[in-house]
Structure 1
Amino acid sequence: MLGACGADSYRVPWEVSSSRPVRHMGPPPHSVVVERGDTVYGISRRYGVPMKDIIQANRLAPPYDLHVGQTLVMPRPRAHVVRRGDTLYAIARAYQVDMNAMARVNQLSSPYLIQVGQHLLVPDQQQAPVAETPPMPTSHPRVIAVTTPLPGAKPALPVARSGPVTKPVVTASRPSPLVARPPAAKRSVASRPVAPPRPPPPPSRTTSTFAWPVSGKVVSRYGGKADGSRNDGINIAAPRGALVKAAENGVVVYSGNELKGFGNLLLVKHADGWMTAYAHNELLIVKKGETVKRGQTIGRVGSSGNVTAPQVHFEIRRGSKAVDPLKHLGRQMASAE
């Protein structure tokens, strides 16, 4: 007997395409007034605050619907004010978090340029675990903070007051001996952060219907349930490790596991405003920004998230509105429960 699928209780509260700016410089405000088109995901991206923190602070319940004019309390995450000589690597080590996670939450892309006085959000250690004894690198990307401070900037770097003292690996006026400095001619200095690259537009669709992501028995249908919960897609039982395939040509706009209940989740954007979601994967094979073709392997079936048996939670959306996948899929040899 399959366990209850987390997707029956949690709907993907994400609108990944938006014309509104997704980056807010500096710390987030204490509150935000919801405007037309806002979603929990969009607000989380815009201000760099984890979705789960926004949901918990405002006691939002599935499906996390927002209303125009609604005021949301914005939790105040940890932040670091960049000072002269700081590098992203050194800051991440000082706070004992993963550098890639810190770059991701601040929407920084290579070469990870930062600016004196810039506020960098520090992710939770639980969200970005660091190895207990990480190997000491012989070299790493050195990101130099430029020396023109922002108005009102105050340097701040926490230091432990009890127990063994861990010295932050940051530089003030001279480089750390552990840092391999590149030639001076190749050092990059910028006055403002580099904007993250935009994903490419999705390619044209091959047909008007979508292909099944996996072959198997439909164990949960689209729509409301007797207990008052709702499934915005269908759940297809399949052997663990079976190949999960793209339902149509598209571009991967999300690949991760930050959303509670869905486990390892993929979102693929298609032409004409369509979107498909693939949850509970054991393995994600493609990354954000990759272009995929209809029938291409994008993951493997698993039971991550709020399920106890291997299956795929599959959604089809037109814009932000979920539709019944069974009305848009071609034929496959599977029976519905």
Structure 2
Amino acid sequence: MRKESTVRKWAPNAIVLLISLFLVACSSNKASTTKASAGNYSGPVYTVKRGDTLYRISRMTGSSVSELARLNGISSPYTLEVGQKLRIKSSSGSSNSSKKTAVAKTSKPRSTSTSSIAKVAPPPVGSKCWRWPTTGKVVVPFSDSDGGNKGIDITGKRGQPIYASAAGTVVYVGNQLRGYGNLVMIKHSEDYITAYAHNETTLVNTSQKVTAGQKIATMGSSGSDSVNLHFQIRYRATAIDPQRYLPPQGSKPSC
């Protein structure tokens, strides 16, 4: 009974927590189109361009997201403006190092709470049936690294159907989360939530119950500079690699 009570108490807060995690998780759909490789920008200052995210800039400069945020005084949700100048760590380890160390020490308590969430043990493969939300090539895979892509980005055609990966209840429909465009989130149980971002149109409403394979949206480029679906599976608010749990593309789940 105590365990059941704990789960029920956690569940309402999970939605709020998940939305917060979406705000700090960097969308990497731009990285898929520009194919930026780590370290290919070496200047001391970077000017933010349209479509840039802190994650993409970190890849180009060979810096971590947290390092860039500390250097430039940027706090979550890491909002950037076109034309904004960002300082980049110099290869020689400039005089900023001591300042960064001090900032890092003061920031440690907040990062500790985030890492404790990330240490949730992933569920075993096959513990739940999932369907592919759409068809297409995975252009950006999942990454659990700091600032990495917390889902998979699937390319396709504008207007292509997006389907519910499993039965559940829609808990969010909107475009208030910057970088994700038109977003749909579905709660499948007390443990699982899926998210579908960058939609052209959404076909469901909050609190609506959906079945596995039901059409919930169409593919688009809202919040992105290319047509794609950013898809996430969250287990107890922690992102897990969808490709570990999805069946081979084009086939139905065997469970």
**TM-score, length of structure 1 as denominator length:** 0.40
Partner of 2:247: 330
Whether contact under 8 Å (1:251, 1:291) holds in the other structure is yes
Whether contact under 8 Å (2:11, 2:190) holds in the other structure is no
Match of 1:60 among 67, 72, 75: 75
Distance change >3 Å, CA 332–CA 264, structure 1 → 2: same
Q: Equivalent pairs: percent with the same residue?
A: 36
Distance change >3 Å, CA 271–CA 256, structure 1 → 2: same
Distance change >3 Å, CA 245–CA 220, structure 1 → 2: same
Partner of 1:18: 12
Whether contact under 8 Å (1:281, 1:301) holds in the other structure is yes
SS in structure 2 of the partner of residue 223 of structure 1: coil
For the residues of structure 1 that align with 2:228 and 2:208, how far apart are their CA atoms? 24
Code of the aligned partner of 2:220: G
1:77-126 CA deviation, whole Å, 9 max, x = no partner? Answer: xxxxxxxxxxxxxxxxxxxxxxxxxxxxxxxxxxxxxxxxxxxxxxxxxx
Whether contact under 8 Å (1:233, 1:313) holds in the other structure is yes
Whether contact under 8 Å (2:151, 2:241) holds in the other structure is yes
For the residues of structure 2 that align with 1:263 and 1:39, how far apart are their CA atoms? 14
Q: Offset of 1:61 from its aligned partner?
A: 3.0
Whether contact under 8 Å (2:18, 2:237) holds in the other structure is no
Match of 1:289 among 186, 194, 207: 207
Match of 1:220 among 140, 143, 163: 140
Partner of 2:34: none
Q: Offset of 1:60 from its aligned partner?
A: 2.0
Structure having greater relative contact order (Cα 8 Å, sep ≥ 6):
2
Q: Offset of 1:208 from its aligned partner?
A: 2.0
SS in structure 1 of the partner of residue 110 of structure 2: coil
- The answer for unaligned runs of 5 or more in structure 1 is 1-15, 23-36, 42-57, 71-206
Whether contact under 8 Å (1:216, 1:333) holds in the other structure is no
For the residues of structure 2 that align with 1:297 and 1:312, how far apart are their CA atoms? 14
Distance change >3 Å, CA 19–CA 266, structure 1 → 2: closer
**TM-score, length of structure 2 as denominator length:** 0.51
Whether contact under 8 Å (1:235, 1:314) holds in the other structure is yes
For the residues of structure 2 that align with 1:303 and 1:247, how far apart are their CA atoms? 20
Distance change >3 Å, CA 40–CA 213, structure 1 → 2: closer
Whether contact under 8 Å (2:142, 2:150) holds in the other structure is yes
Q: Offset of 1:319 from its aligned partner?
A: 1.1
Equivalent positions of 1:43-192 (< 5 A) are 59-62=74-77, 67=110
Partner of 1:321: 238
Provide the alpha-carbon RMSD of the alignment: 3.6
For the residues of structure 2 that align with 1:62 and 1:217, how far apart are their CA atoms? 28
Q: Offset of 1:309 from its aligned partner?
A: 1.8
| Higher-helix-fraction structure | 2
Distance change >3 Å, CA 223–CA 289, structure 1 → 2: same
Partner of 1:127: none
Higher gyration radius (CA): 1
SS in structure 2 of the partner of residue 67 of structure 1: helix
Whether contact under 8 Å (1:245, 1:299) holds in the other structure is yes
